[in-house]
Structure 1
């Protein structure tokens, strides 16, 4: 039998096409030849399960990740993410905010970056610091002194991309910022963010779907972003009566369908002197923009979706034996103060078949961190 080191490059390249992301890096660590092969793949990798982006280790400052494929935590040295809060992920890129409230778009594994302009303020006379203090006074119930560490977690609620910047140079970034989670966009090359005019209600989610950005309001009104001379929101979707008040609503591009998913939580009193939100159920619906109604979905077949402050992610569980089919994987969404103090307790997978919730991780809670964990799928350029 020939030694593994004698395998030809064509054979080695073929092998790398079937490796999960952690195994790809182990492959490259075997020897110089294998590492060289791992860096010049000619074909797209196999589908990958998302990772969770967590905080960083205080001693080493390495960024912590949780891999679903092998149920392990990984600590990786990524200087571009040192001390940064993650407020979104899209197409294998992370939106990171530093202690001075500066935003950067980072590919954590190729370490490429785009420096983003200062985040928009409520008026041209309001600087970023004043903006943050206003947002926090609205959230917390009154003015007080805040650290920048606290401030930056409430500036941007979510951030996504229209395309992978490595595939299209004319990509657009969209954020939801401030008290009302107002949409604003930035195109590569712009000097500043452009705020999108719309109703002053706290928006729930945003998605890029078939060439347009769609925004969802608390009343399930669906808007499309109009990029004309004065960008604005135009209502295009149905408004329906809601039973109960969802803690959060999500929009997802699911296999060519635009889905609206409602997440319901309950307050429970733990051993701590504070009430914590715990997810209990999800509803899945499909807006029909032509008939102006919502169709309820009772199953996702072999697929699983991943909800959080990331661009919509879905995978076919057929490719991943450890992935729960017909399931909704969700991340902790309680405010950052709770996450820092008690850890990220509200993570799990909702099974649509029997409407139960189970854990996808072994630890009782994830360690405390600033903000919420974010789902992240490495793109092909990361391999």
Structure 2
């Protein structure tokens, strides 16, 4: 037996690596790496692509679906005060944005406020519930549609947040230390007309932060006319303000112009950074409002335009679409992964940021989840779960922490589960032991009588 175990441990690294290339699911990969020290060392040299999980929150229970193995996993538990929250953003290393959770500060209107939550570490960053303009007045935020971060919250790196909201302004900004959100201002004392010029006059479709974007670093905002606005934030610590170092607008058109009719009605447009390029993914639905096709465009600078790409140009990439949190994952080239685009149900998407749509109309539940799936060379494949609809929040993605941190978290969860099983087993054993003792006492008493 010992010789057999030793033979498995001494498999050539090429064989072990070949097995690992088929283990794209992180829990499977981590369990494989726990077989022995040598396998763990090889596994660390052949890490799987960090594909996000599908985050399916609800009031009663929360589950996570892995697109790599197409199984549901037990993921992090939501904090008690976040149960039933509407989630409006997903960010790297386990961070998500919640539109409203109970606030410790009783002075907050309704005692509820948006927050950033790390589901793996339990960290929390409270966000303001009010917007301060340059009058200066403060107004209560009606409805947050999506929260976008420049960087994950940590002390080592400064970060900014942008939020797409209903009403005017349709986008606002914040950085740690500020008590209110602020609109996009080049100078804080600029007039009302100057401030209005910085707004997107058309409904916002999506936003993303790009460090080294083709048009410079900053928040890239896409409207329904497929134009881009780029907001580059600049902190002004003198008054605890946040202003923009630049605001640039780019009118873009598709190049070449489409000669064939589009495959359906445009439901949504998404911004994705991929291999140093900025992509716009356009989603089409049928008359029955089911997703039927996607078009992918790359931003060209000379002249500024959207150039259509074929799906095969995205080989060895998997794109996960979500408002404010779309992400492209590099797959293993040796495995020749076909291009895939995963999408979530946006049938109740918050269309028209900046419009006068009421909050009651926008947050009406339950949130449907039937129009989810994957777009590939074979067409639209309905692979992720499609039921049941959530009673509290749209489904979103959950971006896992880095692999080493994931291993530590996974080990902790496994130990907790083992402790629960052992505790349950011991309770049952004690109950059986007590029951046997009681039965013996009754028997002895009967004998004595």
Q: Shorter-normalised TM-score: what interval?
A: 0.7 to 0.9
Which residue of the partner structure matches residue 90 of structure 2?
89
Which residue of the partner structure matches residue 157 of structure 1?
145
Shift of 1:369: 3.5
Could you tell which deviates more after superposition, 194-203 or 18-27? Answer: 18-27
Shift of 1:160: 1.9
Which residue of the partner structure matches residue 331 of structure 1?
344
Using the alignment, how far apart are the partners of 1:75 and 1:367 within structure 2?
19
Asked if the contact 1:339/1:372 (under 8 Å) is kept, the reply is: no
Which residue of the partner structure matches residue 374 of structure 2?
349
Asked if the contact 2:315/2:337 (under 8 Å) is kept, the reply is: no
Mark the CA change 1:339 to 1:374 in structure 2 (over 3 Å): closer, same or farther.
farther
Using the alignment, how far apart are the partners of 1:125 and 1:298 within structure 2?
49
Name whichever structure is richer in helix by fraction: 2
Using the alignment, how far apart are the partners of 2:31 and 2:316 within structure 1?
30
Asked if the contact 1:54/1:369 (under 8 Å) is kept, the reply is: no
Query: Is the counterpart of residue 266 in structure 1 residue 283 in structure 2?
Result: no
Q: Report Cα offsets for 1:313-344 as digits up to 9, x if no partner.
A: 112343797x9722211001122779844741
Asked if the contact 2:59/2:83 (under 8 Å) is kept, the reply is: no
Aligned-residue CA RMSD (Å): 4.0
Mark the CA change 1:289 to 1:320 in structure 2 (over 3 Å): closer, same or farther.
same
Which residue of the partner structure matches residue 320 of structure 2?
306
Query: Is the counterpart of residue 194 in structure 1 residue 182 in structure 2?
Result: yes
Pick one of 280, 295, 320 that aligns with 2:307. 295
Using the alignment, how far apart are the partners of 1:119 and 1:157 within structure 2?
15
Mark the CA change 1:51 to 1:227 in structure 2 (over 3 Å): closer, same or farther.
same
Using the alignment, how far apart are the partners of 1:192 and 1:27 within structure 2?
48
Pick one of 315, 318, 321 that aligns with 2:329. 315
Mark the CA change 1:223 to 1:364 in structure 2 (over 3 Å): closer, same or farther.
closer
Which residue of the partner structure matches residue 112 of structure 1?
123
Shift of 1:97: 2.4
Which residue of the partner structure matches residue 175 of structure 1?
163
Mark the CA change 1:247 to 1:219 in structure 2 (over 3 Å): closer, same or farther.
same
Count, aligned residues? 331
Which residue of the partner structure matches residue 213 of structure 1?
219
Using the alignment, how far apart are the partners of 2:363 and 2:113 within structure 1?
24
Mark the CA change 1:314 to 1:162 in structure 2 (over 3 Å): closer, same or farther.
same
Mark the CA change 1:308 to 1:261 in structure 2 (over 3 Å): closer, same or farther.
same
| Aligned ranges 1:68-147 → 2 under 5 Å | 68-76=67-75, 77-79=77-79, 81-92=82-93, 93-98=95-100, 101-120=112-131, 127-128=139-140, 131-132=141-142
Shift of 1:169: 2.6
Asked if the contact 1:198/1:233 (under 8 Å) is kept, the reply is: no
TM-score (structure 1 length as normaliser): 0.72
Using the alignment, how far apart are the partners of 1:344 and 1:111 within structure 2?
27
Using the alignment, how far apart are the partners of 2:343 and 2:26 within structure 1?
21
The structure with the larger Rg is 2
Asked if the contact 1:286/1:296 (under 8 Å) is kept, the reply is: yes
Mark the CA change 1:237 to 1:22 in structure 2 (over 3 Å): closer, same or farther.
farther
Shift of 1:124: 6.5
The DSSP-based 3-state class of the residue aligned with 2:318 is strand
Asked if the contact 1:339/1:369 (under 8 Å) is kept, the reply is: no
Using the alignment, how far apart are the partners of 1:253 and 1:166 within structure 2?
22
Using the alignment, how far apart are the partners of 1:56 and 1:25 within structure 2?
28
Mark the CA change 1:63 to 1:181 in structure 2 (over 3 Å): closer, same or farther.
farther
The gaps in structure 2 that reach 5 residues or longer are 10-16, 102-110, 185-197, 235-241, 350-361, 408-449
Which residue of the partner structure matches residue 139 of structure 1?
none
Using the alignment, how far apart are the partners of 1:161 and 1:88 within structure 2?
9
